[in-house]
Amino acid sequence: MKIFAKKRIYNLHHQNVKLKNRVITAGIVCLIVFIIIQIFSLNKPLYYSDEMKDAARLMARAINEIREYRYKTGIKIDKIIDPNRTGLIGT
């Protein structure tokens, strides 16, 4: 019986070592791929980023106008439905 127990313990240890080696290998491969992506990635802005910034500014102005209009007319903004209080959601 002791022989079988020793064999079982050896097999479990051997499986744990194999699993540990696979995890380490996968980690190393992921690290290498990450480093390669960081080295060769292009960090230049998109050619339409100015348009995106302009659109964001315009949207912010529009949301402020809607919010002010709702406050002036007494239409309440439900904080649960519209947590950002944009005025775009709800009645």
Same domain assignment for residues 38 and 49: no
Split at pLDDT 50, 70, 90, the class of 3 is low
Split at pLDDT 50, 70, 90, the class of 78 is confident
What does the pLDDT read at residue 13? 67
Say if CB 88 and CB 82 are below 8 A apart: yes
- Inform me whether the pLDDT recorded for 45 exceeds 90: no
On the 0-12 / 13-18 / 19+ scale of CB atoms within 10 A, 85 is middle
Same domain assignment for residues 53 and 66: yes
- Inform me whether the pLDDT recorded for 86 exceeds 80: yes
Per the structure, the count of domains in the chain is 2
58 vs 44, 54, 82, CA distance in Å? Answer: 24, 6, 20
Same domain assignment for residues 91 and 49: yes
Domain that residue 28 falls in: 1-43
